Amino acid sequence: MGRPRDSSRDLAILDATLSLLTEVGYEQLSMEAVAGRSGAAKTTIYRRYPDKAALVAAAVERRAPAKPPQPAGESLREDVHSLAAWLARSISEQDVGLLGAVFAGMRSDARLAQAMRRILRRDETAMTDGLVRQAAERLVPGAAPLFAEVASAVIVHRVVVVGEPCDAAFVAHLVDDILLPLLRRT
């Protein structure tokens, strides 16, 4: 898509998008409101992002968390624990309103769902590649997507539904009682 999107105008557009998305939700988000909040012309926004789905996906992608830890390979438990703790921090740091707005938008807009799934698959691969490379012989087939799906679901449930933090005791429970029994080759 051409030039990098890191100018102050682009950042203002993406920040305004995230802010409005959290405030009003996906359905009520409009290019006009983003233009007003960011100070950019609506034509400028449309030139960079052809539709609302592309704009929201770009804003969410820019907000992506830091790189996941690379497994040390000392033990499968330590590697899974390190990755689960990183994932718990990454998800816990997200604004719950933003998560809800994106999830709701994915249900109602197929273009947004497709873009977000692409981003999530890329992030899943980045998160689990090191674990699979380091411990493939100790993992069940399909361990990477299983880890990503189960760990993410349990953490999101804990943060959003239960409203509790993902503290060290919770991460240890997630790893020892849920993830390792699912992932470890017996």
Largest CA distance in the chain: 59
Q: Rounded distance, CA 114 to CA 112, Å?
A: 5
- Per residue in 140-179, pLDDT (tens digit) is 999 999 999 999 999 999 998 899 999 999 999 999 999 9
Name the more confident of 27 and 67: 27
Distances (CA, A) of 139 to 31, 86, 120, 179: 46, 20, 22, 11
Residues found in the chain? 186
Which ranges constitute the DSSP H helices of 71-183?
Answer: 76-92, 96-108, 110-135, 143-156, 168-173, 180-183
**pLDDT for residue 160:** 86
- Write out pLDDT tens, residues 55-108: 999 999 887 667 888 888 789 999 999 999 999 998 888 888 888 899 999 999
pTM, whole model, 2 decimals?
0.81
The per-residue pLDDT for 136 is 86
Lowest mean pLDDT among 14-23, 71-80, 105-114: 71-80
Give the pair of three-digit tokens for residue 150: 């189960």
